A and B are shown apart, each in its own frame.
Chain A
């Protein structure tokens, strides 16, 4: 069950998309999200879907892998769709009791579902093609201007990369604790919801205790390796913008422009 978590998973590769500077990819994702919220018609959503398909083909990430990221979100997607279905205004197409479904409602529901799916897939495409270290490096560089207002940019990036590093370790540990509790008769997947929630307490307590112990040891080990915050720190792999990054960013601008034009003409 826990092994299914794909958050922060990275598929190494050497495609154009993989080689893009992480800053370009982060900015690209922001552009994609902006464009997604500007989209108001079937045409613009088709365009957004086409962009996503093109990117996944370019990065050789199989559509199945991309869609598997949606699995944990199925409930939210369906829920949003159903809610929006009943909240449309105008002539009802179908009506029963206090519920009515309008053409407008169907339209909004379809758009909302598409929007969430494209948003999630787009984000996953970023983490699938960018190593966690590159990602946090890119974020650190992009947020660097915030240092002026004393925002702890380096610390934030460091925390993110350590959190990503420890996800598999803590998952492994959770599995181990669950097995130990099961061996002593605990049950995690039977009983009522409240009972299951209660069963999590003896799981979470040792997990937290161990996480704090790990954090303490890690801090000592980092100090031993001369960590003293971001002051005077260099990087082995420096980030460089290449020609392809300029092209990619230009294409992002074109995408936003295209969606804006479609929106303007009500398409």
Chain B
């Protein structure tokens, strides 16, 4: 892992007036261009962790480095925030303007980018999320998935190297979820962006390069999706469900079938089961 984009070093965080820390001694490195999924149930510290990535929360102990910049350094705050873009759960509460394109222009305007360049960035960002045709629409008339894509475009207009999505699909219907995930996938594949996806949907983690499971403010599991999900007992102990495919194979294994636990995708799972029948 050479030159990680994010370095989290022994980070602990306690909310003001809270007794228990929300993060306890977390150390992580996020590799440039990787797709990392952070899993955990409510109160596991996953959202708190995300908020330390761009200096919204400053760790009470330890430090976070964004391309070598310490998030506690207020002079570099704008550089840090334009490097790590963040998208939140509720699209309604992220959109500031009454017209889609004006909203996407908000971040570059704050950064003092020249008007012509802003226009270019806005058009580019809207095309990247497939919302260019809606650029003159009013955001409150769009569907949830469309609004969330506008929110993503608003972050893309900063030209960040890394995008952190904090449960971006939690308030969306299945169609909206699919739209948003497809957009994220495209950003990663076509633009080589580093993506950190915070979620509690197992299925959204299957395509990740790496899955980090948080519990009680600590990193409970960390590894490839196959490695993480095959630890079915540990996942259950963390109060998390494993993907349905893993669940099925786990059950079959307990019934005496010899199946690989790391067959994550539906195809892999079907092939593995078919192979058993062929043997007989």
Contacts and interface: CB of A to CB of B under 8 A. Distances in A.
Interface of A: 10, 12, 131-133, 161-162, 164-165, 168-169, 172, 214, 217-218, 220-228, 232-238
B112 A233 contact: yes
Contact of A226 (B78, B88, B114, B136): B78
B144 to A, nearest CB: 12
B102 A133 contact: yes
B132 interface: no
Nearest to A231: B112
Contacts of A162: 96
Nearest to A8: B98
Contacts of A236: 101-102, 105, 108-109, 115, 118-119, 122
A217 B81 contact: no
A217 B95 contact: no
A214 B92 CA distance: 8
Given A235-B118, A238-B115, 5 more contacts: A161-B98, A217-B93, A222-B106, A225-B106, A236-B105
A228 B102 contact: no
Contacts of B54: 224
Interface string B97-141: 111011001111111111100110010000000000000101110
5 contacts: A221-B86, A224-B86, A225-B85, A232-B112, A233-B109
B158 interface: yes
Contacts of B78: 226, 228
B97 A133 contact: yes
A168 B51 CA distance: 29
Name, among B85, B92, B108, the residue most crowded by chain A CB atoms within 10 Å (CB to CB). B92
Contact of B109 (A10, A12, A223, A235): A235
A109 B102 CA distance: 45
Contact of A221 (B88, B97, B99): B88
